[in-house]
Structure 1
Amino acid sequence: MNNFKNIFILTAGILSFAACKPEFKKPTATSGTADFSRYIAVGNSLTAGYADNGLYLEGQQNSYPSIIAKQMQQIGGGTFTQPLFTEAQANGSGYVKLTGFNAAGSPVLAPITDQLAVRGVVPIPGFGNVTTYAKYSGDNNNYGIPGMKLLHINYAAYGNLNGYYERLLPGNAGTNSTTYLDYVTAKPFTFFSNWMGNNDALLYAVSGGAGDVLTDKTTFTQLYTLLLSRLTAAGQKGICATIPDVTAIPYFNTVTPALVLASVQKANPTVQAIFINAKSTADVTSTTYAARPATSADMITLTFPTSKIGTPVATPAGNLPYGLTPYTPIENLYVLDANEVALAKDYVNSYNTTIKTVAASKGIAVVDMYSFLNDIKAHGLVVDGLTLTSNYITGGIFSLDGVHLTPRGYAIVANQFIKTINAQYNSNIPLTSVATYRAVKFP
């Protein structure tokens, strides 16, 4: 009898607990104070989904705006259409893939040259040859144009000089006059993301400070103000992103002066330094360069052909080993020297101050990608059970060109945008699952 009584009391207690169990209700979907019915993305190669040194279908499909839009659709966001390459031309501009590693452990990359969307090459007087791509004429929400600077947004001839922009316009190269600013605002929209301005510093940096120039700071401020004024002209809301530290990417942190020197010293221990042709001052107007030994403050590009080190170079003093004497320094295009690094950092910091100030004046959210990506470089990132870093190939975030992102990297970026949008506009866009997106493809 006592046993029966105890069982009765226990059962009653369980039923009572079950009756009081709290209910976990899914939050009501809300866009908060924003309207995501027509979201557009403004920017350059990062916005387009560029990866592995090319624009191709898989990269486009995994662009961060596309990922954001998918998450927006879960709370009532509208359709997001991209100017995708067709399946028959899925390799787009062409790109590179990892085929293995050589005996020294260095990656071996091979170009993809089939199923391209290349339409031809057009000579533009006063400019040079422009590669054009298969035209796209449908609806478009992703206005990412690889290679584009903020400096180009109001330049009427730009549709003739950039094949990625030319493919979106009805005219052929040489006949276009639609500015990018007019193109992206031609159709009404309710929300935007804007990651413009990266190339105003990046193209200078990746050319070793030799093949491009930094956009003037005052000009940058004027154009960014113009861009935000146009994007918010009808009261639209949106999000802007700061420019990453262009010197923190794998493109500049994989092939280091110390690694190159150590490799040389294995064969010739008497070598004490490698030499570079370096900018003499951190004055942006200075064009004076001089040979000197490389230091840890100098950055060698990922594209530097290390096999050139030590090869004979004809000089007035006879044949001397490349990179190992003041008479045969590594050329400018392969090195962002310490003074150029300082310039790039200074201009990026100035651009980011402009971005934050102008966005704040319009009540627009800002996601600080500069701080976020630098924090990953310093400390790594753990998300969805994955440990990620900024390391080349193994880190999982950066693609094979050392500049742009993998699909996993773009998913991480998308989540940062989403977190900032939710915080600014009281929306509840769900985050994406980073683990469902791939990192670098291994053979």
Structure 2
Amino acid sequence: MKKNFKLYIGLAALALATSCKPSLDEFEPAKGSADFSQFIAVGNSLTSGYADNGLYLAGQRVAFPNLMAEQFKTVGGGAFTSPFFSEAEANGSGYLRLKGFDENGSPETEFVPAQAERGKNALGNPLYTKHTDPIQNLGVPGMRLDLAFAEIFGSQFGNPYFERLLPENQVGKTTYMQYAVSQEHTFFSFWLGNNDVLGYSMNGAAATDDPTKTMISVAQFTQLYNAFINGLTAKQQKGVVATIPDVTVVPFFNTVTLQMINAGLAANPATANLKLLIKTKTGVRPAEEGDLFGLTFRANIARFGQNGYGFSPLNPIEDSAVLDKAEVAEVLQRIKELNAVIKQVADSKDLALADVNAFLNKVKAGYNYNGVHISAAFITGNAFSLDGIHLTPIGNAVVANVFIDAINAKYNSKVPKIDVSKYGGVSFPN
């Protein structure tokens, strides 16, 4: 019996020791053929952590490249610094905060004042606290691919978020493209092109002299995208590029609907028999299904009926306030064409491709991601912040994983993915 007892103990110990060894199927982080030691992130507001209609410290901290950089540390990634506002300037440029809900259940927001303004330019627009130390998160809110090649965009009359990153001797003399490609790097993420379509869409595709509200041509996009990527890969660096999302998937364009507007008109005896009239490029017509109204259209609704606004053919909803269905088709076609360019460049340069467009199209109707429900619904969808365009912490974590999936697939890497359940959506009032 004693011998058998010792034998059982020995077998049990052996089994325990064997079970503690990692199996061949367990995930062990590995860099694959990529070198993550010097990672930089090139992009716009999405890259910077802009959220809730502002750039502020809490949003900056959860920007998707910052989350990626933490994962890269398990596979040889180095330091990754962002141009954070200080704790004393945590409100940054100011941002929207959810205050509560009215008696109809509609959200009410308030604007948290800025804390990081260092002054104004000659036009009275804000200039933000400088941050000229070396950084790796190069995301600049409002950055477009075309304006990334314009020196004026880095001046005090250009983009204040880019201007704050430049030493005084480079202000107005350095393009964003030059700034980005000059940063030492072994790996990069690149997500530009969104604003080259989004600004046009948010302005109802209306004619304008504002360069931030025009839509880039395919020819110009092709030339500039290739030039930028050529600069970033001049030393054979590897990286990941991302597609441009479908603008119709974001809450900004799917929260205030024609159905909702018509229901409001029908509930009021004074407007029950009226039709909403919109101005299009081909003339004035009744609003139809497929026309998109922005999240900010609530302000227009408050003006309904004033001097016939919205109901008279002499005072219809202005072109800039509606993306009509013909313009929607135009924008979606352009996004398709631009994404084809992005995919072609990724293939030619042997870069990873994060197809955010395809992923967010799945999210639009609702999607369970690792046990967390996300959708394009305003506030309740978890993925998008109070401006209806930019990401919540959960949204950033999910998008970071889309990038990581693409990187792992392309470079045979094993970068651990992020546990999105650790992150929140829109912050509710206490």
- Give the TM-score normalised by structure 1: 0.89
Kindly indicate which of the two structures has a greater share of residues assigned to helix: 2
| Residue 201 (str. 1) matches residue 197 (str. 2) | yes
Q: Distance in 2 between matches of 1:336 and 1:409?
A: 25
Give the corresponding residue for 1:238: 239
More displaced 10-residue stretch of structure 1: 301-310 or 139-148: 301-310
Identify the residue that residue 333 of structure 2 maps to in structure 1.
Answer: 346
Provide, for residues 142-185 of structure 1, a one-character-per-residue CA deviation record: whole Å limited to 9, x for no partner: 11111111001221222111100000011289x52111111112
Corresponding residue number in structure 1 for 2:410: 424
Q: Is 1:334 the equivalent of 2:336?
A: no
| Aligned-partner residue type, residue 367 of structure 1 | A
Match of 1:292 in 2: 285
* Alignment RMSD (CA, Å): 2.3
Partner of 2:33: 33
Q: Tell whether the 8 Å contact from 2:49 to 2:61 is kept in structure 1 after alignment.
A: yes
In the alignment, the residues of structure 2 paired with residue 23 and residue 401 of structure 1 have an alpha-carbon distance, to the nearest angstrom, of: 49
Q: How does 1:134-213 map to 2 (within 5 A)?
A: 134-160=129-155, 161-171=158-168, 175-210=171-206, 211=208, 212-213=213-214
Change (3 A) 1:273 1:29: same
Paired residue secondary structure (2:326): helix
Are 2:302 and 1:308 equivalent residues in the alignment?
Answer: yes
1:383 aligns with 2:336: no
What's 2:51 paired with? 51
Range with greater deviation from structure 2 (326-335 or 42-51): 326-335
| 1:115-126 aligned within 5 A | 116-123=115-122
Q: Cα gap change, 1:113/1:15 in structure 2, threshold over 3 Å: closer, same or farther?
A: closer
* Residue of structure 2 equivalent to 1:355: 342
Q: Whole-Å Cα distance in 1 between the matches of residues 407 and 288 of structure 2?
A: 42
Tell me the secondary structure at the aligned position of residue 74 of structure 1: helix
Deviation at 1:11, TM superposition (A): 7.7
Q: Tell me the residue number matched to 1:283.
A: none
Structure 2 CA distance, aligned partners of 1:131 and 1:351?
33
Q: How does 1:55-74 map to 2 (within 5 A)?
A: 55-74=55-74
Contact 2:305–2:311, Cα closer than 8 Å, also in 1? no
Q: Which amino acid aligns with 2:21?
A: E
Q: Counterparts of 1:31 and 1:9 in 2: how far apart (Å)?
A: 43
Which of 387, 399, 403 is the aligned partner of 2:385?
399
Distance 1:91 1:248 in 2: 28
Equivalence for 2:275? 273
Query: Is 2:151–2:173's contact at 8 Å kept on the other side of the alignment?
Result: yes
The one-letter code sitting in structure 2 at the alignment partner of 1:87 is E
The question of whether the paired residues in 2 share the 8 Å contact of 1:38 and 1:77 is answered with yes
> What is the aligned-residue identity percentage?
44
The amino acid that maps onto 1:67 is L
Paired residue for 1:255? Answer: 256
Q: CA deviation at 1:12?
A: 8.6
Rounded Cα–Cα distance in structure 1 between residues aligned with 2:18 and 2:81: 47
Summarize deviations over 1:90-117 as a string: whole Å, max 9, x none: 1111111000111121111100015x11
Counterpart AA for 1:383: Y
Q: Residues 302-359 of structure 1: CA distance to partner in whole angstroms, max 9, x if unpaired? A: 001154253321xxxxxx3x21232321122221111111111111111100000011
Q: Is contact 1:40-1:191 (8 Å) kept?
A: yes
Name the CA distance, whole Å, in 2 between partners of 1:69 and 1:8.
51
Secondary structure of the 1:157 match is: helix
Q: How much has 1:435 moved relative to structure 2?
A: 1.2
Between the aligned partners of 1:398 and 1:65, the Cα distance in structure 2 is 17
Distance 1:172 1:341, change over 3 A: farther
1:90 is matched with 90
1:131 aligns with 2:117: no
Aligned-partner residue type, residue 397 of structure 2: A
| Matched residue type, 1:261 | N
Q: Identify the range of structure 1 (355-364 vs 328-337) with the bigger mean alpha-carbon deviation.
A: 328-337
Deviations 1:399-426 (A, max 9, x none): 0000101011001000110111111111
User: Could you say if the C-alpha distance between residues 82 and 22 of structure 1 is closer, same or farther in structure 2, counting changes exceeding 3 Å?
Assistant: closer
| Contact in 2 for aligned 1:204/1:214 (Cα 8 Å) | yes
Partner residue in 2 for 1:113: 113
Gaps of 5+ in 1: 281-289, 314-319
- Normalised by the size of structure 2, how large is the TM-score? 0.92
* Offset, 1:390: 1.2
Pick closer, same or farther for the CA change 1:271–1:359 going to 2, 3 Å.
same
Residue 233 of structure 1, CA deviation: 0.3
Give the secondary-structure state (helix, strand or coil) at the position aligned to 2:60.
helix
Instruction: Give the C-alpha shift of residue 9 in structure 1.
Output: 10
In structure 1, what is the Cα distance between the partners aligned to 2:345 and 2:18? 52
The 1:23/1:330 distance shift into structure 2, 3 A limit, reads same
2:265–2:274 Cα contact (<8 Å) kept: no
SS in 1 for 2:428: coil
- 1:171-223, Cα deviation, whole Å (9 max, x unpaired): 289x5211111111223210000001110000001111125211111000000
Matched with 2:21 is 23
Aligned equivalent of 1:287: none
CA contact (8 A) 1:260 1:306 kept: no
1:81 matches 2:81: yes
| Partner Cα separation in structure 1 for residue 34 and residue 335 of structure 2 | 29
CA-CA distance at 1:382 after TM superposition: 1.6
Q: CA offsets per residue over residues 212-246 of structure 1, 9 Å max, x none?
A: 21111100000000011000000100000000001
- Contact kept in structure 1, 2:278 and 2:319, CA below 8 Å: yes
Kept in 1: contact 2:35–2:76 (CA 8 A): no
Q: CA deviation at 1:360?
A: 0.8
Distance across 1 between alignment mates of 2:102 and 2:227: 50
Q: CA deviation at 1:272?
A: 4.7
The answer to whether the Cα contact below 8 Å between 2:35 and 2:187 also exists between their aligned partners in 1 is: yes
Question: In structure 2, what residue type is equivalent to 1:187?
Answer: Q
Change over 3 Å in CA distance of 1:138–1:19 after alignment to 2:
closer
Q: Secondary structure at the match of 2:364?
A: helix
